[in-house]
A = this chain, B = another copy of it.
Amino acid sequence: MPSNPQILLASRPRGAATVENFRLVVGDTPPLEDGQVLVRHHYLSLDPYMRGRMNEGKSYAASQPLGEVMMGGTVGEVLESRNPRYAPGDKVVGMGGWQEYAVVDANAPGALRKVDGSQVPLSYYLGAVGMPGVTAWYGLTQIIAPRAGETVTVSAATGAVGSAFVALAKARGCRVVGIAGGPEKCRYATEALGFDACIDHRQHGDVKSMSRALKEACPDGIDGHFENVGGTILDAVLLRANAFSRVALCGMIAGYDGAPLPLQNPALMLINRMRVQGFIVSEHMQLWPQALQELAGLVVAGQLHPRESIAQGLASAPAAFIGLLHGQNFGKQLVKLI
């Protein structure tokens, strides 16, 4: 059995998360029991939701236990199998965690999913054709449910969710406006991803300025908003929201590191007769096949152009993750292991 480098959660953050909260160790891969497979991970997924799990206490996901391997999505290849449904060489997506190998009970519901690596690059199953893509799909189709001609907005526009969101929303005939950090990302959003406009939140750091920028980019107001960030951005969106607009609350990364960030004027939800709805995509597994099919189709058709930030080697995962929390990634953040 190969030795297995792993990254554990060593301590919980006080305020901002740092690389010191993680520890690299070398573990073993135990011999396979009946029903299990041994997977060699090719890529780890790094996602903002992991920051919430690093805290103790109430969140939508179970807290990450201290001293255990960081949980997370992985894509890889089966090396050995004692499960009749899997054979060595199969490409699989799972929740293998921050480690080079995983021994997986492949019969557990949702533990592994075989994927076809021939049409879609393997790494995409952690992004555009994986959890982030389905996240965009759910918020857009199940909460925002836009009509053609409506204006929809998304924060963290060039990230894994945002880039899937714009492709899905353009396919439905919407005007799509992104919010991203920095001129390079904003240029990429409009030139490569298909956004009709993109607002640099670093140029519009307060509510008034962001609200003015939204007014200019959304002359007919905002009918739907997909929120990955919260804080100033959400405050400004509410000021430009149309009557009967919808907000899909997916992430509020702006408040992950410290005290809760208030919403300045919640009465706007009433004045605008809005619907604001939080969700977590893993609670809607029955919709994944439908979503993944549309997302894979958009990739194959060249209408969804995900960009990736790839860190090299397991040891780089903590720093890449901290960078992700500060917007230093550009597109889907991955760690390449092989």
Contact = CB atoms under 8 A, between A and B. Distances in A.
A267 B260 contact: yes
Nearest to A59: B271
A263 B260 CA distance: 10
A255 interface: yes
Interface string A80-114: 00000000000000000000000000000000000
Copies in the complex: 2
A263 B252 CA distance: 14
A265 interface: yes
Interface residues of A, number: 32
Contact of A273 (B255, B265, B278): B278
Given A252-B267, A264-B262, A273 B234 contact: no
Q: Which of A261, A265, A266, A279 has the most CB of B within 10 A?
A: A266
Interface of A: 58-60, 230, 234, 243, 249-252, 255, 260-267, 269-280, 283
Given A260-B266, A262-B265, A274-B278, 19 more contacts: A58-B271, A60-B270, A234-B266, A249-B270, A251-B270, A252-B266, A260-B267, A261-B266, A261-B267, A262-B264, A263-B266, A266-B266, A270-B278, A271-B278, A273-B278, A273-B279, A273-B283, A275-B276, A275-B277
